[in-house]
Amino acid sequence: MRTDDLDFHLPPELIAQVPPPERSASRLLHYRRDPGAISHRTFTDLPGLLCKGDLLVFNDTRVLPARFMLRKSSGGAIEGLFVNEIGPGRWRVMLRGLERYDGPLRFAAESNLVAECTARLEGGEYEIKVSSDEPAALILGRIGRMPLPPYIKRDKVADPRDSADRERYQTIYARNDGSVAAPTAGLHFNAEVIGQLAAAGVERTCVTLHVGLGTFKPVTAATLEEHAMHSERYEISQAAADALNGARRDGRRIVAIGTTAARVLESHPAGEIWRPVQAETHILIYPPYQWKHVRALLTNFHLPRSTLIALVAAFVGLDEQRRIYAEAIERRYRFFSYGDAMLVE
């Protein structure tokens, strides 16, 4: 499949820079593949669009405030992004502005905390030793900023919206630290909508996929087959496996809340019983993929030439994906992480 088949023009003003005043105040485009009907709703309509017995599968990963600033001894700034913790005081990070400097680095927000670069890796990544054995999540909780995607513009040093981002760039059910980007389809849910879903007999369970740096990366290869898909860690608990086995046994729909949940589910072999597992997936879903488990998908509107829009095209068909997005643009839907949502059945 050619990557430019996934390209489209998006007016820049449709890229949402802030979330709506309330989580569930976003709009919801509803698409039914049979008969190809599009309707325009609000997110609070979701409980009435689902069926009693549907199993909603959420991704309960928690986003770390992974962005931080370091200072060279000269005072020069280095932008940092936490990737993962290798061991006590040992972090894998991305750094911008380090160049050939090899002296001590002080955290701008906590000057008594010092870092030393111990290895230069590929792709702009580094290994650093931090002068504290505190868990990285605790340190970042004090000094970090939320790792918003680059299309959401914030001041590099400080921004009055930082405190709001800490709450709103996080789902209300997040519980497992590990992501550097939010599973954004879940940002629309508040306690009221979740309560209405339960009252309507809609079931839910959670899996965990820690969203990595590659999720929102545009595809630069000429074809999807040539794209080197990133790998991400995921976990299916015993409770989630039981819920999924029950839905399959009863013939009930599995509804993925977001592309990350969909990738976890579709990484499971067809016809096999669901079991608890901790693993990694590098599944790349694009037309003409044959779906094994997911029967409906709730998702946001995605970047051109991305693996995420390829997944949507695999679900509805490439021509229909183009038609849906053209109508969303015409009707001025808000795009990307803080934008509106779509339910595709």
Domains of the chain in sequence order: 3-63+169-344 (3.40.1780.10), 67-144 (2.40.10.240)
Cβ contact 284:227 at 8 Å: yes
Task: Name the E strands within the chain.
Answer: 27-32, 37-42, 55-59, 61-63, 67-71, 77-87, 90-96, 105-107, 110-120, 125-130, 176-179, 203-209, 232-236, 254-257, 277-281, 296-300, 341-344
For residue 315, what is the enclosing H or E element? Answer: helix 307-316
Look at residue 33 in the predicted model and tell me its pLDDT. 87
Residue 158's contacts (CB-CB under 8 Å, 6 or more residues apart) are: none
pLDDT at 212 (0 to 100): 86
Residue 172 has pLDDT above 70, yes or no: yes
β-strand pairing of 61-63 with 55-59: unpaired
Instruction: Give yes or no for residue 213 having a pLDDT over 90.
Output: no
Per the omega criterion (within 30 degrees of 0), is the bond before 35 cis? yes
pLDDT for 255-292, tens place per residue? 999 999 999 999 999 999 999 999 999 999 999 999 99
Q: What is the pTM of this model?
A: 0.94
- Give the mean model confidence (pLDDT) for residues 59-76: 95
Q: Average pLDDT for residues 34-56, to the nearest whole number?
A: 96
Give the Cα separation of 306 and 304 in Å (integer).
6
**How buried is 252 (Cβ within 10 angstroms: 0-12 exposed, 13-18 middle, 19+ buried)?**
middle
How many CB atoms lie under 10 A from the CB of residue 175?
Answer: 10
pLDDT score, position 257: 98
Tokens matching residue 20 = 């709506």
Higher pLDDT, 23 or 229: 23
Instruction: Say yes or no to pLDDT of 119 above 80.
Output: yes
For residue 159, what pLDDT is reported? 82
Report the distance separating Cα 27 and Cα 77, nearest Å: 40
Across residues 68-89, what is the average pLDDT?
93
Contact 277, 236 (CB under 8 A): yes
CA distances from 208 to 129, 180, 181, 237 (A): 28, 13, 13, 9
What percent of the chain shows pLDDT beyond 90? 88
138 alpha-carbon distance from chain centroid = 22
